[in-house]
Structure formats: C-alpha cells, structure tokens
Amino acid sequence: MEFSPESAPELPAELPPDTPREPILTLPGALTAYILLIAVIHLRVLLPPEWEDWTVDVFGFIPKRYDSTIIDLTFPGGAGAKAWSFVTYSLLHANLSHIGFNVLWLLPFGSALARRFGALRFFLFMAVTAAAGALAHLVTHEHAVSPMIGASASVSGAMAAAMRFAFVKGSFLSFARGDVDADAAARVPALSLSRALRNPKVLAFLAIWFGVNIIFGVGSIAIGMEDANVAWQAHIGGFFAGLLLFSLFDPIPREASDAAAASY
C-alpha cells in the first residue's frame, strides 16, 4: 500500500511553545499561601496546653466577649480581641481532620476564586466572609462562652462566590470546558445575581448546600471534631456574604447577560 503526503491524515496543530497550559488542579499561589498559613498556625498544638488554650481564647471568636449583661467574665486579649477575632478565628482549627475538610472544599472553589480575584482581593474576600460568619454566629449565640474556630465560613463564602461563574460555559463546573487552561476557566464572565438565582444548576447546588448544613445543624454533626458542634449559622453568614458581595471583588467585566447565560 502506497503512502503519500497527500493521503496522510491531518494532524492537529501543536500549540506554540510559549503557550502555557496550566492544569485545572494546580493550586494558585494565593491559595497555597492561605493553606500554608493555616498549617503553620496549627503548630500551636505543639505548645504547652495552657499556651494552646490561651491562643484559642485570644484569637478564637467568643460571643460572650461582646456581652457583659449576665456574667462578668474577662477574656484574654482585651479590647483588641473584640476586633481581630472576627477574622483570626478562621485561621485556627481543632485538628488535622478539621483542616482537611475545609481544604478539600477549597481546592476546586478556592482555586478558581484565587485565580479570578488575584492575591489581594482573595485574601480580603476571605477576611470579609469570615467576619460575616462571625457576625451571624454572634447574633445566634449571643451569650455563648465557647470559642468558635475554623475557616468554614470563608470556605462557604468562596463556594457561593464561585457559583456566580462556575457553571458558565468554559468554567470549571460547566462540563463543557474543553481544552481550556485553569486561568481561562476562572475568568469567564460571571452571571448577574438575578440570573444566577434563575440558573437550574446554581439552584440545585444551593439546595444541596443548604440541605447539608441543615442536617449538620439539626443533628449536631461535627466531622472530625469530637465533642464539637458545627457552627452552621456562621456557614450561612459566610455563604450569603460571598454570594452578595462577589461583584464588589470581581475584576472581570460581565458581558451581555445573554452571552453569559448561554451555558444554561
């Protein structure tokens, strides 16, 4: 059988050597730094027990710290802790399982958000959603003395924010992404809030997310944390903050609504 150049099958064109293709699971620098910060802070468990308890009391979020109407209690950290603990509690975790559970959810959603926002916006967003979660916990646990710790409110905020663009064609949950690198998948035009709340995929995700949190809350289920309850009100506070405040942080211009909604 003869073979000539004319009869050879056409091969796909190669990408130019200078065209980067970053795998979708490669962590952006901002998220890597955030996870490393949590890991380094968790080394507090190596401290003597009284010092470890002190760090939780000073940097954990304690609702009773803001209430002096029932019991006269003095907490370490003074007035400063009333401010910084709205954020610092989110960097403390009970154990490695607690960290692992939060990191597991951050890998897809936090990665996409960090690529889209850039480092500065990403860190500020995580702080704002942490504060929103603390506020929701304060409102629902006004007299609680037990400290709340963990990044779950910020993780919930990142998941909610990612929903604004995750299902758009070419993004990381569109299932029609094709051969698109991770940065491109994270920078597709986002849906407006009203269109996002009419997207069946977004609504299904919201239903599942709220259902899981209701189960955790009603059943007092704590994954990987003995004798601890899930602060599901803080999760919801962070989630709503991420969903509603996304546009204030998003640097990517939205295209015409019809173009963005073409992936429904």
In whole angstroms, give the CA distance from residue 171 to residue 177.
6
**Which CATH architecture does the domain made up of 26-250 adopt?**
Up-down Bundle (1.20)
User: What pLDDT is attached to residue 185?
Assistant: 83
Q: How many helices (H) and strands (E) does the chain have?
A: 11, 0
Structure confidence by residue, pLDDT tens digits, 107-144? 989 999 999 999 999 999 999 999 999 999 999 988 88
DSSP state of 148: B
Cα-atom radius of gyration of the chain, to the nearest Å?
A: 22
Q: Provide the b/e sequence for 17-51 (b: ≥16 CB within 10 Å).
A: eeeeeeeeeebbebbeebbeebeebbebeeeeeee
CB 231 within 8 A of CB 152: yes
Phi, psi of 61, deg, nearest 5: -95, 115
CB 35 within 8 A of CB 105: no
User: What pLDDT is attached to residue 148?
Assistant: 93
Map out the domains of the chain as residue ranges: 26-250
Integer angstrom CA distances of residue 46 from 41, 52, 55, 152: 10, 8, 12, 23
The closest alpha carbon to 94, from 39, 49, 149, belongs to 149
DSSP state of 9: P
User: What pLDDT is attached to residue 77?
Assistant: 86
The closest alpha carbon to 114, from 102, 122, 125, 126, belongs to 122
Q: Which two tokens stand for residue 129?
A: 């959603």
DSSP state of 25: T
Q: pTM of this prediction?
A: 0.81
Low-confidence ranges of the chain (pLDDT < 50): 1-24, 219-227, 256-264
